[in-house]
Structure 1
Amino acid sequence: MKSGVVIALGLAVSMGSASAASTTSPAEIMNDLAHATNSGDLPAARALFTSSPTIVDSFAPFSWQGANAVDKWWSSFGRFSKRHGMSNIDVELSAPLVSEFDREKDDAYVVVPGVITGSMNGSTFRMTGRNTGVLTLTPAGWRIVVWAWTDDPH
C-alpha cells in the first residue's frame, strides 16, 4: 500500500505542455510531471510522454505500455487511491541524483528523489522514493519514454 502511494505520487508533475517541454531539461520534465499529477491535469501529464511510453508503478497492474499508457496509469491510480481512502496527495521532487545525457542520440537517463504526502483513511502519510525516467529529445522537446517509481527501503 505504501509503495503504491509513493509511485503514484512520483508520477505527479507540474503542469507541462509541449511548448514548455521544448525549453526545459529532462529533470525539469520529471518535475513537470509531478506538478501535473498534483494538480490533476491529465492532459498536461500526457503531453510530457512520447506517443507510446512505458510506465512502471507499485500498484496493480504495475506496468502500462502503449498509446494509452498514461491514461490507463491515471485511471489505475484513481481506483487505487479510492480503494485506500487517499486524498490530498502531493508529490515534491528534489534535485536529480543522476542526470546522464547521450548527446549523440539525444537520449537521457534521470533519477530524481521524491516525497509523497497526503491522507490515507484519515491519517497522514509520508513516503519517499525515486522517479527514474528515460527521455528522448523530439522536435517538440524532451519527452518521457519510460517512467518508473521505486520506494525507498523502510
Structure 2
Amino acid sequence: MSSSSDPMAAVRRYADAFNNGDEKAMAAMCADPMQILDGMSPHVWQGPTAAADWWRDVLVESERVGASGYHLELGAPRHVDIASDYGYVVVPVILSFNLRGRQVTQAGAVFTVALRKVGTDWRLTAWAWAKG
C-alpha cells in the first residue's frame, strides 16, 4: 500500500474491502487497537481482531435476517481533519443490500472514522455508523 497524506484514501480502501467482502483487507486498514461501534449487536468490537470479529458477526446476522450483497457508497466527506499523525473523517454514505430478494437502500447514513498514521500510512483506529 502506498503512503498518502489523505486519510480519506484509507477510508476508501476500507470501504472497497467491505464491498468486496474482503475481511483480510479490512483488517489490514486498521491500527491496533481498533474499535467499532455499530447498530448491530453486540454493538462494540475492540482490540486487534475488531474488524474480523465485526465481519464475522455481520455474516451471522446476515444469515439470520436473509441479507446479502452489501455495497457501501461514500459521499463527499463533511469533515477531514488532520492534526499531526491523527485524522478524523465524517462522510455520508448510502448502504445497499438485498433483503430476502428485495433490494434495500439506506440513504442518509453517516460513517465517522478516527485514524492515525502508522509509519507513513493512515490506519483506522475507530469507526462508528449512524443510520440515516
Q: TM-score range by the shorter chain?
A: over 0.9
User: How far apart, CA to CA, are the structure 1 residues paired with 2:25 and 2:40?
Assistant: 22
Give the aligned partner of residue 107 of structure 1. Answer: 86
Taking every aligned residue pair, what percent have the same amino acid on both sides? 31
User: Quick check: 2:36–2:44 contact (8 Å CA) kept in 1?
Assistant: yes
Could you tell me which runs of 5 or more consecutive residues in structure 1 were left unpaired when the two chains were aligned. 1-18
Structure 1 residues 91 and 136: CA distance shift in structure 2, 3 A: same
**Residues 114-133 of structure 1 aligned to structure 2 (within 5 Å):** 114-128=93-107, 129-133=109-113
- Give the TM-score, by structure 2 length: 0.94
Which consecutive residues of structure 2, in runs of 5 or more, have no partner in the other structure? Answer: none
- Report the TM-score, using the length of structure 1 for normalisation: 0.81
Distance 1:82 1:135, change over 3 A: same
**Cα distance in 2 for residues equivalent to 1:87 and 1:67:** 26
| 2:43 paired residue number | 62
Aligned residues: 131
Counterpart in 1 of 2:34? 53
Cα RMSD, aligned residues only: 1.2
Runs of 4+ in 1 over 6 A off after TM superposition: none
Check 1:143–1:102 CA distance in 2 against 1; reply closer, same or farther (3 A cut): same
Query: In structure 1, how many angstroms separate the alpha carbons of the residues matched to 2:41 and 2:8?
Result: 26
